[in-house]
Amino acid sequence: MKLKKLMAAAALAAVVSAAGCTGSVSSQTAAGGDAGSGSIKDEFADTNRNNSSGSRKGKVSGEESEKLTFEEIEELAKNNVFCVTWYAEDDSFTSGTAFLMDSEKYQEKLLVTAFHFLVPEDDSDYSGADLPEYLQGGQIFYDHSFEATGASIKNCVVMEDAASFPDIDKDVAAFTIQGGEQLPTLPLSTHEVKKGDTVYLLSNLWDTDDVHENCVYECKVKGADGAVVYYELDSRYGTTGASGAPIVNEYGEVIGIHMGTMAGTKVAHSSESFLEQINSGKISDIAYPEKTEEEDGSDTEEGGLYTFDREERVETMFYDIQVDKVAVSNAVGNAGAPEGYRFLTLDIRLTRNDMYDDPVGMYYDDFILMRTGGEYDYPQKAGMIEGQLPDEYTIDSDNDTTGKLIFSIPENEEQVGLCFGDYYYYEDSDELIYGDMYLIELPVEDWSRESMQK
């Protein structure tokens, strides 16, 4: 059986779940950067993941809201709309579209989407009360680019009356999140929805011959009856993948979430209705999977955590890695560190393991930097300086792969750890294997292997 290294975004999810951890983001990036950061509550040592772009708010008490420009609507589609890779009892899937809203009742951000695509196939008795037992979490991505946000699903808002399309007025799901403090929210509408209003569907549509790269689709309201908004979208565009997508008015406020098509007309669950339904619910813990014995009675194979000093070369399942240099600075290239932060630049060297014939696919988020108290950070995205590792690259057998990983860390940080792991599956199986995890301990100071060897 042939091994396949897990992709970067899924690998990070595996790091968090395999360690029994939860994360929360306090993102700090370089000017123009969009790397993520997060907080893992349980330290790796005690066990065997952005973009902080804000959004213009709608009407605030005592203030007049202004219509947004089309460019500002495009920014909402880029920064304020998400998709989720969901983990269920016996499957994982990426489906639907979502956004974040501030909740007065629950006093935290909620991820809002449709309910109907979260229903197991052939389960006619499935209700909102069953959702926290069926779902086992999920990783949140930007819908526009499918880049990881560093946030994940935490708990479920149980609405026992939640129902699937075509029960439009009951079709909504909501979740609390972890690792998303800096992710922007969208305001709900404070304006009456009227026939003829211009509104925008914000979604990265699938399986359609014509798409907008900006993920913005102008529509016209045909009518509204309180719980349901009826709207018209150009027939050139299909709406596969848009379930749960926010529909915003010209003020950037959510008037409803897309549900589907009825008699040729697009339909949405109105924000007034779904907010009332969400507020009638209650928070329930999601049934995260426990690691138990497999059906054949043998223990599920899991790796351990191995810690190394900065001078050591680390052998993983797919590659060997060593840190050649550490540099601490207030600026990298043309980018200055955020206030209260510094840059930590690591020169690393990667060599492919000769056990495998194929080049090893690598991704910028295959590495995270552990900090004091369990905080963790992704590397800055590529393009800051020459020699920085690309966002995607391969390690082949002929030459070492060298490059720089750049992190933004608090200026008072004194000790960090570069963390990475073995996460993979066999080509003839969907089972994720949790392999070993590795941590290279790094004092926050200038250092080089060359100077050490002199």
CATH of the domain at 256: 2.40.10.10
* Residue that terminates a domain, selected from 216, 247, 270: 270
In a domain, 44, yes or no: no
Regarding whether 309 and 374 lie in a shared domain, the answer is yes
Higher pLDDT, 322 or 423: 322
Q: Are 246 and 237 in contact (CB under 8 A)?
A: no
Range of the domain at 423: 305-453
Higher pLDDT, 32 or 30: 30
How sure is the predictor about 84, in pLDDT bands with cuts at 50, 70 and 90? very high
pTM: 0.57
User: Using alpha carbons only, what angle is made at residue 67 by residues 144 and 32, rounded to the nearest 5 degrees?
Assistant: 40
Q: Are 393 and 402 in contact (CB under 8 A)?
A: no
In a domain, 221, yes or no: yes
* Residue that terminates a domain, selected from 250, 270, 290: 270
Q: Comparing C-alpha atoms, which of 367, 372, 370 is closest to residue 413?
A: 372
In a domain, 31, yes or no: no
Regarding whether 343 and 233 lie in a shared domain, the answer is no
How sure is the predictor about 454, in pLDDT bands with cuts at 50, 70 and 90? low
In a domain, 363, yes or no: yes
- pLDDT at residue 353, as a whole number: 81
CA atoms within 13 A on the CB side of 172: 29
Q: What's the mean pLDDT when you consider all of the chain? A: 81
- pLDDT of 51 over the 80 cut: no
In a domain, 95, yes or no: no
- pLDDT of 432 over the 70 cut: no
Q: Among residues of the chain, what percentage have pLDDT more than 90?
A: 47
Based on the structure, what is the number of domains in the chain? 2
In a domain, 92, yes or no: no
- pLDDT at residue 429, as a whole number: 61
Regarding whether 314 and 261 lie in a shared domain, the answer is no
- pLDDT at residue 211, as a whole number: 82
Regarding whether 232 and 348 lie in a shared domain, the answer is no
* CATH code for the domain in which residue 338 is found: 2.60.40.1240
In a domain, 139, yes or no: no
Q: Among residues of the chain, what percentage have pLDDT more than 70?
A: 77
141-158 pLDDT tens trace: 999 888 888 788 999 999
* Residue that terminates a domain, selected from 223, 247, 270: 270
Regarding whether 309 and 449 lie in a shared domain, the answer is yes
How sure is the predictor about 425, in pLDDT bands with cuts at 50, 70 and 90? low
- pLDDT at residue 426, as a whole number: 65
Regarding whether 429 and 319 lie in a shared domain, the answer is yes
- pLDDT at residue 20, as a whole number: 39
Q: Are 223 and 166 in contact (CB under 8 A)?
A: no
- Residues in the chain, how many? 454
- Mean predicted confidence (pLDDT) in 182-195: 93
Q: Comparing C-alpha atoms, which of 182, 249, 166, 185 is closest to residue 174?
A: 185
Regarding whether 397 and 332 lie in a shared domain, the answer is yes
In a domain, 442, yes or no: yes
Higher pLDDT, 119 or 231: 231
Task: Determine the distance from the C-alpha atom of residue 46 to the mean position of all C-alpha atoms in its chain, rounded to a whole number.
Answer: 25
Regarding whether 418 and 314 lie in a shared domain, the answer is yes
Regarding whether 309 and 265 lie in a shared domain, the answer is no
Regarding whether 381 and 265 lie in a shared domain, the answer is no
- pLDDT at residue 358, as a whole number: 79
Regarding whether 370 and 238 lie in a shared domain, the answer is no
Q: Comparing C-alpha atoms, which of 82, 43, 282, 37 is closest to residue 181?
A: 37
Cα dist. 300→90, 290, 295, 307, 452 in Å? 16, 11, 10, 23, 42
CA quadruple 212, 214, 218, 219: dihedral sign: positive
What gap in Å lies between CA 421 and CA 10, rounded to an integer? Answer: 12
- pLDDT of 34 over the 50 cut: no
- pLDDT at residue 13, as a whole number: 44
Regarding whether 348 and 425 lie in a shared domain, the answer is yes
Higher pLDDT, 268 or 179: 268
